[in-house]
Structure 1
Amino acid sequence: MTATGSLDLLHPTLAHHVVNTLGWPGLRPLQREALAPLVGGEDAVLLAPTAGGKTEAAAFPLLSAMAAGGWTGVSLLYVCPIKALLNNLLPRLQSYAGWMGRSVGLWHGDVGTAARRRLLRRRPDILLTTPESLEGMLVSTKVDHRDVFAGVRAIVVDEVHAFAGDDRGWHLLAVLERLTRICGRPVQRVGLSATVGNPDDLLTWLQGSGAGKRPGRVIAPGVSLPGANSPAEPPPGDVELDYVGSLDNAAKVVAALHAGEKRLVFCDSRQAVEHLGAALRVRGVTTFLSHASLAVDERRRAEQAFAEARDCVIVSTSTLELGIDVGDLDRVVQVNAPGTVASFLQRIGRTGRRSGTRRNCLFLALDEPGLLRAAALLRLWGRHWVEPVVPTPEPRHIIAQQLLALCLQESQVGEHLWPEWWDGLEPFEHGEPIVAHLLREGFVDRDGGMLMIGPEAERRFGWRHFMELTTVFTAPPEFTVLHGRTEIGRANPALLSSREQGEGPRRLLLAGRSWAVTWVDWKRQKCFVEPADDGGGKARWDSTDRAGSSFALTRAVREVLLGADPPVRLTRRAVKALGKARERHIEHVHADGSVVTRTSGDVRWWTWAGTRTNLTLRATLTGLVDPAQQAHDSYLRLREDVDPARWAAVREGAADRIALPEVSEKALEGLKFTAALPSHLAARTLAARLADVEGARRLLGEPTRFVVG
């Protein structure tokens, strides 16, 4: 197709600006292939690496359809998983829409009341928002949602893979079904994603109740889809694995290498970000930080300064993994390893955007587990393997939340008509027991065959106009940290107690600096601080990642321990550390199956199967497994009296009677809206999320070797 031909389906005004304002000779392959189906109203998932032009591939044809169809009012929704990404996209989409005489608006939790009022008076053609803010508009008494959303024709879901793998995905789908019913017509759905392991399944998921009823396609030109005749050679990129042994040593390496370049360093926790950032500043490196517990203004200042600087480092958690533009990067450094290959693809995709440069990433392993996970992940990446995106199973708590939100939205809902709002979306086919529980417990009242919000829902979720009802996660409590009137971020309240800090003044490490605590307002959950130039600050947040490593990643660790190297450069330190790890685990791995070891009464089954699989095996093999142990990625501790004969007897037929993991009361507290579910259904919901039934069956089908130490 010629450059001119590739623009034929665009509105002439848009085509003119693509060539003359952007200076593009034509469209990229993804943008060309997306034109006809999106202008034609098809659903689609667009796949491309980071900076692959996905935003334009969706926006250009939909703007053309908007002009051709005479769409009016709020007609295109653009949904993102994080507010920072929306802020980042706003000026670009405003430019594109402005060429067509169209407008763009922004609505999320950081948008003030005055700006919201202006938006409702002068409604934009394109609205950028999050699912939570979209639902907030649906249930708000200040927004006429039927009038505002009557003209919606299409929805773009950016970073759709980030939604589909957790409860926010079900929440998003449920809200979109309600929105579709308000519109009274099918709404086109377009998802944007980096490479995933199951793109066709992702498209089916995104279509919701429209799957099989509406046309849809995956558009991924030039993308090597997993399992689709992937090339034998490793993916392109300059990747190196080093072993440094500590965060302080990681700071030394980052400070010493690539002076004069712009480097983005990813860490696996907020605490690591703070300690590494402080260590880099001590070494005179211009350093910025980004993580979820920093104040919005603090993050924005850091990201803006980083984008404009040259010789500097920004240290971040996954907050900068998604498509936020932080300027032209030279290097990505990964401390330890991300949890998934998909995350690594997002991160390495931040580099190599300039002509003549390659994508690159330097891994710095802090300890043996970090080294093995990094090596394992790079082996999976080298095989062009990417995790499938799997929706969370049995989202009963989302059904409860949505039923309550619908009662708020409509004031009252027919007790037999509520399923129509979700048009057969799979989870809602099993909602009757949940409705019965909501009625019994007073979350919902019934009057004359109509359902409405009850007193228990108002008591539990009614704070600030039911704001708690629009988010599906429970966040641990944090105290706001203030220097004067400037908010720096949020801290774990445990750090403010004298017991945690010990003798002497209380010190916090936040935004890469140490602060002395001057006063704590325990009632209002605020903490006031002054700079502490002599250091000594502490950082700690409660981890929300209790899932451990996946089956595939832990199996790849086993491959590494059996002698397989990742297809990347290994430093001498990494080679030496891998050698030590292999020697230490020499009796724990076997090429033909799993291993049971006995050392001084300590009996372990080395499954190398991941935490979820091991939790499932622990629940299934109750006669073999020590019930007091915590689950681990690589092994299960067995009872001391286990021998080969008993092992064989208990395992006989176990693959046909897989049990779900047990769920503690404390674990249930982390599942939001648990109170709106019958206790047995809440426990089953969480148990299904902790289980890996297929992984457990696979382990039970493998031979086991017994080793006596």
Structure 2
Amino acid sequence: MTTAGGLEPALVHHIVNTLGWKDLRPLQKAAVAPLTAGDDALLLAPTAGGKTEAACFPLLSRMHAQGWSGTSVLYVCPLKALLNNLLPRVETYTAWLGRTAALWHGDTPAGARRRILASRPDVLLTTPESLEAMLVSVNVDHASFFSGLRAVVVDEVHAFAGDDRGWHLLAVLERLQRVVGRTVQRVGLSATVGNPEALLTWLQGSGAGQRLGHVVAPHLAEAQPIPASVPPGDIQLDYVGSLDNAATVISALHRGEKRLVFCESRRLVEELGAKLRAKGVTTFLSHASLSLDERRRAETAFAEARDCVIIATSTLELGIDVGDLDRVIQIDAPTSVASFLQRLGRTGRRPGTTRNCLFLTLDQGGLLAAAGLLLQWSRGWVEPVTAPPEPRHIVAQQLLALCLQEHRVGSRLWQEWWNGLGPFGGSAEPIVRHLVDAGYLDQEGGMLFIGPEAERRFGHRHFMNLTAVFTAPPQFTVLQGRTEIGRTDPALLTERVAGPRRLLLAGRSWQVTYIDWHRKRCFVEPVDGGGKAKWSGTGFGQGTSFEVTRAVRDVLLGTDPPVALTQRATTTLKDAREVFLEKVHPGGTLIVRDESGQLRWWTWAGHRANATLAATVEGIAVPAQRINDHWIRLREDITPPVWKEVVSEAPDRLCLPPVDERAVRGLKFGDALPPRLAEATLSARLADLHSATAVLGEPVRFVAVHT
């Protein structure tokens, strides 16, 4: 190997002789210099692009050369399943240099944790929640355990940065740096994102602008512009009209191949799984409400099988290895172009194969959403990853966690723990005052410490609820004897039914035999058919982005996505263009009065921009309407002069959307904020001020639908 300069020779020996590699991949070559120099970096590559090795090989070389001791590298992932999958590889690489790796997350047994504490591994694979738990645990001497920390690898960093887990991760890393008394190198691994430089800056936290940082993405530098008519990969868009028809197509096509099917809800995963099994297709399922053992069995069996299907939600989007895939099938449209790229990247890994994805859309809306997403993808656009604004509830959580970690914190010194990181600085003073006033924190002699309200709300099971920054809806554990199958929504156990109560879980029907309401457990026996699947949402969705919604409008105006369309898809798109003929215009937005007299402003702006616009023109919008991606309902008496008067001032007084009180209740740690700050936090996250301003600047035409 001629391109491994900078790597430890013993490591190069094993790369060549044990792995059988003739050379490193471009990303792995490019990552050596910045990582061995100790610089921060964001490593970008498509799925299966060798990012783990690109991070591990230089860091292990540096560990060996500089004689790092103790737990010196943390490898952080968003999913426990991904950590489980990575452990054997990382153990192999560390062992080549006489080093060790270990796994610590919520499912790690107590005995394994004791062994880790007694003999610190060189590399620890973990989650941010487990890091937080170690910092606050009375059983972990965190100052000693983390004393050797030198570098942190954050896998799937884009999955963190886009939500509150990212703020939580950054805050925990700043506290870790404070504990060890040195700057810790940060390395992020990601699939392609729309704003890599900004993502690197985000990852650097308080070190941004002070430490060297590099975006390492040789595949982007080498890529040539792709003609819009010939995007890479074998992408097909089909319209099947129902889940039954989707099951028929999947069972008939690609026999003898290994197929991964993505659905956008757990309910669809369950229903499609049951339909495929009824057709004799070897089918496995994976989603967050299945038990750990059930998911592991499915993923292991799928990895070892050939002629089979595994149906999943986004749980299998983030790089978990399920063996060589032949096909990816998407039911309707994923939530983003970035998700589609992750899923597309699961295929085409073997030499001589092509990345592929078959879209099976269930209705006209699903077809339009998929067509718009594919059109926007073909233009080379990917969503920028941006951190949610104003994470005040995370600030409250971190203040409580810090007091739990240190027992007592100076009321003037707490800011130092986050090294000047954005929202954790002086702007958090009102949150500290509220935590003291509400009894979450006590204050005495210039010191802050855990108060009675925090004990009451979060003290159960050694403050376990304090380490996770999201709230899962309540679910009942479903058991067959002593075997856990998964979890189901309690609504399925309380709604009125005629005859026996039956559930659909793990792709099979079960009859409920006993419900333990106190312990939230449900006992079942297998039964033939009749099961029902249901789960409540985990939050309030924010719909489709402005860019993808506008691409849907482009599709309705006649632009086909440059992929293979079946005759059924072409016919259904033609019908959709007829339906929306008088609701789209390339030059601006339309206000349409339909046959019933209702007035709708067809903005095609996406959910967050429409929520912002509806709040801004509150006086002429129908109150308390359900916001969608495409239109806003207006009062029926609005005329063009009234509209012009209202909208003339709107760009200068954009309003944040109102917040449903149920959403505030669903914001974990929202109760630890003053009510007005909790509402302001959610309002800022529901808004898209930039896109709303763009829409208000466009021409508007009043039209009446012709009957």
- Please give the range of the TM-score, normalised by the shorter of the 2 chains: over 0.9
Q: 1:213 aligns with which of 196, 210, 215?
A: 210
Alignment partner, residue 241 of structure 2: 245
What is the one-letter code of the residue matched to 2:572? A
Is the 2:231–2:562 Cα contact (8 Å) retained in structure 1?
no
Structure 1 residues 551-562: aligned runs within 5 Å = 551-562=546-557
What is the one-letter code of the residue matched to 1:563? G
Give the Cα separation in 2 of the matches to 1:53 and 1:26: 12
What is the one-letter code of the residue matched to 2:119? R
Q: 2:523 aligns with which of 506, 518, 528?
A: 528
Give the Cα separation in 1 of the matches to 2:589 and 2:23: 55
Q: 2:469 aligns with which of 462, 467, 472?
A: 472
User: 1:159-216: per-residue Cα shift (whole Å, max 9, x none)?
Assistant: 0000000000000000000000111011000000000000000000000000000000
Alignment partner, residue 302 of structure 1: 298
User: 1:427-486: per-residue Cα shift (whole Å, max 9, x none)?
Assistant: 112110000000000000011100000000010111110000000111100000000000
Give the Cα separation in 2 of the matches to 1:515 and 1:172: 39
SS at match of 1:7: coil
Alignment partner, residue 140 of structure 1: 137
Alignment partner, residue 541 of structure 1: 535
User: 1:268-296: per-residue Cα shift (whole Å, max 9, x none)?
Assistant: 00000000000000000000000000000
Q: CA deviation at 1:217?
A: 0.6
Structure 1 residues 58-457: aligned runs within 5 Å = 58-223=55-220, 234-429=230-425, 430-457=427-454
User: 1:110-143: per-residue Cα shift (whole Å, max 9, x none)?
Assistant: 0111111111111100000000000000000000
SS at match of 1:223: helix
Instruction: State the TM-score, normalizing by the size of structure 2.
Output: 0.98
Q: CA deviation at 1:512?
A: 0.1
Alignment partner, residue 27 of structure 1: 24
Is the 1:224–1:230 Cα contact (8 Å) retained in structure 2?
no
Q: CA deviation at 1:695?
A: 1.0
Give the Cα separation in 1 of the matches to 2:117 and 2:260: 39
Q: CA deviation at 1:235?
A: 3.4
Q: CA deviation at 1:334?
A: 0.3
Is the 1:234–1:381 Cα contact (8 Å) retained in structure 2?
no
Give the Cα separation in 2 of the matches to 1:692 and 1:8: 47
Q: CA deviation at 1:327?
A: 0.1
Q: CA deviation at 1:318?
A: 0.3
SS at match of 2:583: coil
Q: CA deviation at 1:231?
A: 5.8
228-237 or 178-187: bigger deviation? 228-237
Q: CA deviation at 1:503?
A: 1.0
SS at match of 2:622: coil
Aligned residue-pair number: 702
Q: Which runs of 5+ in 1 are unaligned?
A: none
Q: CA deviation at 1:653?
A: 1.8
SS at match of 1:446: strand
SS at match of 1:514: strand
SS at match of 1:472: coil
Q: CA deviation at 1:230?
A: 6.5
Give the Cα separation in 1 of the matches to 2:207 and 2:222: 24
What is the one-letter code of the residue matched to 2:530? G
Q: CA deviation at 1:664?
A: 2.0
Give the Cα separation in 2 of the matches to 1:386 and 1:407: 40
Alignment partner, residue 38 of structure 1: 35
Give the Cα separation in 2 of the matches to 1:160 and 1:385: 19
Q: CA deviation at 1:234?
A: 4.2
Q: CA deviation at 1:8?
A: 2.1
What is the one-letter code of the residue matched to 1:520? I
User: 1:63-104: per-residue Cα shift (whole Å, max 9, x none)?
Assistant: 000000100000000000000000000000000000010000
Q: 1:513 aligns with which of 508, 511, 524?
A: 508
Q: CA deviation at 1:628?
A: 2.8
What is the one-letter code of the residue matched to 2:364? E
What is the one-letter code of the residue matched to 1:526? R
Q: 1:10 aligns with which of 7, 15, 18?
A: 7
Q: CA deviation at 1:224?
A: 6.2
Is the 2:85–2:320 Cα contact (8 Å) retained in structure 1?
yes
- CA-based RMSD of the aligned residues comes to 1.1
Give the Cα separation in 1 of the matches to 2:495 and 2:289: 22
Is the 1:49–1:349 Cα contact (8 Å) retained in structure 2?
yes
Give the Cα separation in 2 of the matches to 1:628 and 1:58: 50
Is the 2:458–2:464 Cα contact (8 Å) retained in structure 1?
yes
Q: CA deviation at 1:708?
A: 1.3
Give the Cα separation in 1 of the matches to 2:208 and 2:516: 52
Give the Cα separation in 2 of the matches to 1:242 and 1:521: 45
SS at match of 2:220: coil
Alignment partner, residue 611 of structure 2: 615
Is the 1:79–1:157 Cα contact (8 Å) retained in structure 2?
yes
Q: CA deviation at 1:667?
A: 1.2
217-226 or 464-473: bigger deviation? 217-226
Q: 1:581 aligns with which of 553, 576, 580?
A: 576
SS at match of 1:27: coil
What is the one-letter code of the residue matched to 2:601? W
Is the 1:498–1:506 Cα contact (8 Å) retained in structure 2?
no
Identity of aligned residues (%): 68
Q: CA deviation at 1:38?
A: 0.1
Q: 1:704 aligns with which of 695, 700, 703?
A: 700
Q: Which runs of 5+ in 2 are unaligned?
A: none
What is the one-letter code of the residue matched to 1:423? N
Give the Cα separation in 1 of the matches to 2:364 and 2:228: 29
Alignment partner, residue 504 of structure 1: 499
User: 1:357-408: per-residue Cα shift (whole Å, max 9, x none)?
Assistant: 1000000000111101100110111111100001000000000000000000
Give the Cα separation in 1 of the matches to 2:661 and 2:558: 42
Structure 1 residues 486-501: aligned runs within 5 Å = 486-499=483-496
Alignment partner, residue 599 of structure 2: 603
Give the Cα separation in 2 of the matches to 1:475 and 1:548: 20
Q: 2:687 aligns with which of 691, 695, 698?
A: 691
Is the 2:229–2:562 Cα contact (8 Å) retained in structure 1?
no
Is the 2:231–2:563 Cα contact (8 Å) retained in structure 1?
no
What is the one-letter code of the residue matched to 2:532? K
Give the Cα separation in 1 of the matches to 2:311 and 2:633: 37
Q: CA deviation at 1:670?
A: 1.1
SS at match of 1:109: coil
- Residue 635 (1) aligns with residue 631 (2): yes
Give the Cα separation in 2 of the matches to 1:479 and 1:666: 21
Instruction: State the TM-score, normalizing by the size of structure 1.
Output: 0.98
Distance 1:11 1:465, change over 3 A: same
